[in-house]
Amino acid sequence: MERLGNTSTRSSGAGGGSSAGFIARRDRVRFLGRRSPTRAGLMTLLLIVTTSSRADAPQETPFAEVFAQLAAKLVGGVVNISTTQVPAAPIPKGGPEAQLPGPGAPLDEFFRDFFGEKGAPGAPNPPPSRVASLGSGFIIDSSGLIVTNNHVIANAEQIAVTLSDDTTLQAEVVGRDALSDLALLKVEAKAPLPAAIWGDSNKAKVGDWVLAIGNPFGLGGTVTSGIISATARDIHSSPYDDYLQTDASINRGNSGGPMFNLAGEVIGINTAIFSPSGGSIGIGFAIPSSFARPIIEQLRISGKVERGWIGARIQPVTDDIAEAVGLDKGRGAMVAAIDPASPAAQAKLQPGDVILAYDGKPIDRSRQLPRLVAETPPEKPVKLTVWRDGKDQEVDLKVAALNPNRPAPPAPEPEKPKPPPSVDALGLKFAKPTAELRKQFSLPDTTRGAVITEVPQNSPGATQGLRPGDIVVAVGHETVGSLEELQQKVAAARKNGRKNVILRVEREGNTRFIALPFEAG
């Protein structure tokens, strides 16, 4: 038996045939355990969905027909996008194959058709050929505003939009934003265009049915269906990842196309796939509408996106770190470093603080915070709930505007150490940052703290990724100025009854917190 969640594909002009007579009604599906669990009864429940036999039962629409009706209604608002551009680098001699993206690359990446023939051996390279790429988009305003992915139109010399009636129009870029991978285009049409309607992705649940419409492999308008497989998915493509995951079939060329719910509303913009082969294996990702819509509105108004910034570098709070600082579980975002000229510095946030709530919104996972900050208008005052010294504290700050060219926060400069030659602690060996060690580990002359010189294999420190040359600059909130201070502060932390101690570790100018068990030493 094929389950209803299996992906199906058909062209936008085709009718929607029923799957083996399946008729689905949510209020009529019978679940296991609601009747006598006989073998025959179980098999019946697994194989069929019952319908009412009452004469007065209302006429029902087969589920497949619902999809067909939705598709017919929605395809008019979806467009195909083609661009031409000259590659930034010359195409090597010898007629290379089109470079398609590897696993997890965005869907742009459509198909690169290189023109020209192979050069003879020893002949000079021909002039750069033009690259044609294909993608998708959808109309959000009858005046001709079109949403797509930024990577669909990046570096394009010309952008052509083909409507569902095969009319082709030239498009201009209203605005684009690389960080969110969103872009807004404008076409001039002779008549009002059919526009899609935004929906609320925050209401989407795992298991909800969705339709994806786009231009896979340049074939033209194509409709596929599936379910939402996961929400709030992080694929490490940007600090703001919060994707909807779907098993609807999306492929190269679907980039920028809409994901619809069964109300016919756009709840996502298809953007990326995970695939070892480059084709769909049922793992696709869409930017949620709740994230995309405010950005598109900024692009419509000003052609650019302004983001909030507080100047705090953060890291996840593991269960070990939570135990070491007295939290009930791993939650929030731990401050690892602070820009001295930032709102965080002015508000007296400290490395080691754990941000538990931002502007009244709880922070369960650290990656929630960058998105919340980015969505905050500059100059807006916000209140943070911070865990410090074993208790909650309220911190007020005013959000600033993000400058993409702003340098990363510099490493802190603790007091100059006065250490003994070396010490052992927590299963690691430490030494003062002598000239020899600074040279051996390429440390700056300003290095302060305790240098890790040995990390035993398979030790807790090795498991946490520590390595010789790392510098411990603080234990918890307290700066380490010498090896003696390191020992004293570790001993003091042990007396507090914790199982773990927090070390603030610096490497190549970046800092993070590590939780190590006392039993390691």
DSSP string, 135-146: EEEEEEETTTEE
Amino acid identity of residue 48, one-letter, is I
Structure tokens given for 435: 């000239």
The residues assigned a catalytic role are 151, 181, 255
Query: How far is Cα 305 from Cα 364, in angstroms, rounded to an integer?
Result: 26
DSSP string, 26-83: TTT---TTSS---HHHHHHHHH-------TTPPP---HHHHHHHHHHHHGGGEEEEEE
Instruction: Tell me the torsion sign for CA atoms 291, 368, 314, 374.
Output: positive
Query: How far is Cα 97 from Cα 107, in angstroms, rounded to an integer?
Result: 18
Task: Kindly list the distances between the CA atom of residue 521 and the CA atoms of 11, 185, 430, 431, 491, in Å, as whole numbers in the listed order.
Answer: 65, 60, 12, 16, 11
Cβ atoms of 259 and 270 within 8 Å: the answer is: yes
Query: How far is Cα 111 from Cα 89, in angstroms, rounded to an integer?
Result: 17
Q: Of the candidates 296, 299, 307, which has an alpha carbon nearest to the alpha carbon of residue 175?
A: 299
Instruction: Tell me the torsion sign for CA atoms 435, 438, 442, 447.
Output: negative
**Hey, what's the torsion of the CAs at 151, 407, 88, 168, to 10 degrees?**
30
Quickly tell me which residue has 């070892």 as its tokens.
276
For residue 271, how far is the Cα from the chain centroid? 11
Cβ atoms of 250 and 222 within 8 Å: the answer is: no
Task: Kindly list the distances between the CA atom of residue 440 and the CA atoms of 237, 435, 436, 508, in Å, as whole numbers in the listed order.
Answer: 35, 9, 6, 14
Structure tokens given for 346: 């002015």
